[in-house]
Amino acid sequence: MTGVQLNNVIKRYGDVQVIHGIDLTIEDGEFCVFVGPSGCGKSTLLRMVAGLEETTEGSMTIGERDVTRMDPAQRGVAMVFQTYALYPHMTVEQNMGFGLKMNGHPKAEIDKKVGEATRILKLEDYLKRKPAALSGGQRQRVSIGRAIVRGPEVFLFDEPLSNLDAELRVEMRVEIARLHKEIGATMIYVTHDQVEAMTLADKIVVLRAGVIEQVGSPMDLYRDPDNKFVAGFIGSPAMNFLSGTVTADGVKVPSLQDTLKIKLQAADIGRDVVVGLRPEHLVLDPKGKTHTIDLTESLGGVSYAYLLSETGEKLVVEERGDERSTMGDTVGLRFDTARVYLFDAETELRIR
Ligand code: ADP
Ligand code: MG
């Protein structure tokens, strides 16, 4: 069993604390994604698991072993970086086998492992080439191959697709998902891209400023976010947020010129709230008069209408089907109140 467990893990650089006591269990064979905005501590946390950064306080285990103070080489992990870090003077084959060769493994064993990685990553045609003669995607495959060859218990990826163009990123994303299925090893994957997190993860860990905001499956986080940050981070385009107030009749939302029939506790009356509505849950009502369409973006199968309310609040609405709105139209909004998310305006915590 090679799950990963973090127990109240803390990282400080001098006086500056960047990781604030993380508790996390990653199951054996799970694909776990750390996601969050730039600077939130994703790489630091991953590098602590790898042993490339010292853990200031707390402990971590891989399988049954306490690895907190262990050397990187002893931990049974292999890391894939955003920059491929291949040796330019070595061929693909030599790059993949180099780590084992340095550790004195016999040639037959190296050949067998390199052959296996080559098959998994479909690198047969490139084995004799040097990195300069490869595309970005092929280079990244070689660096993943190098990790596979080491036979780690846990794979660690730090934004491995960020240097690739959009099309290749989608292709490699599918390959990494397939790799996980085939190998079945525990994987921890860092990204700032919520689409990568949604499509790859069994478990997503949303981080902000060195703290876990929420842990769950992609659809759990999408359907049931604990706070405004997670609600706004997961889902694309992002959830719309409107200001509102709880009244005896429901939630009054000035920008919608409406009071939503949502039952809250009497104690909540007068409380300021943020009303969350996903673009895909809104329908434009051509008979309404509350919003103007500021801009429309058509991607073909789907369009996004950018709306401005009379009160000056902005909103995005997703449109599919044959009828699409046009810029300058005056419209209203329809939606199911069961789709409304409410957050406390001050704490930003979900009101359920
Ligand atoms: P992410 O990968 O989520 O973009 P990082 O883990 O790289 O974020 O960084 C988290 C925080 O730690 C940032 O505020 C960054 O400035 C800080 N940090 C990273 N490395 C060091 C370091 N060697 N010394 C001081 N602060 C650091
Ligand atoms: Mg990073």
210: part of which helix (H) or strand (E)? Answer: none
Nearest ligand to the C-alpha atom of residue 36: 1
3-class DSSP state for residue 256?
A: helix
Mean pLDDT taken over the chain: 95
User: Residue 288's pLDDT is what?
Assistant: 93
Q: Mean per-residue pLDDT for 65-73? A: 96
Using the predicted structure, report yes or no on whether residue 168 has a pLDDT greater than 90.
no
- For a mutational test of ligand 1's pocket, the pick from 18, 22, 56, i.e. the residue with the most ligand atoms closer than 8 A to its C-beta, is 18
173: part of which helix (H) or strand (E)? Answer: helix 166-183
Q: C-alpha dihedral over 219, 224, 225, 226, to 10 degrees?
A: -140
The full set of domains in the chain, from first to last, is: 4-233 (3.40.50.300), 240-351 (2.40.50.140)
Strands in 250-253's sheet, in edge-to-edge order, are 258-260, 250-253, 240-247, 272-277, 341-344, 350-351
User: Residue 155's pLDDT is what?
Assistant: 97
Of 148-157, 207-216, 260-269, the range with the lowest mean pLDDT is 260-269
User: Residue 164's pLDDT is what?
Assistant: 87
Ligand 1, pocket residues at CB < 6 Å: 13, 16, 18, 36, 38-44
Annotate 324-338 with DSSP letters as a single string: ---TT-EEEEE--GG
> Using 50, 70 and 90 to split pLDDT, how confident is the model at 1?
low
User: Which residue's CA is the nearest one to ligand 1's atom 16?
Assistant: 39
Which structure tokens are listed for 100? 């084992």
Distance 163 CA to ligand 1 centre (A): 19
> Using 50, 70 and 90 to split pLDDT, how confident is the model at 58?
very high
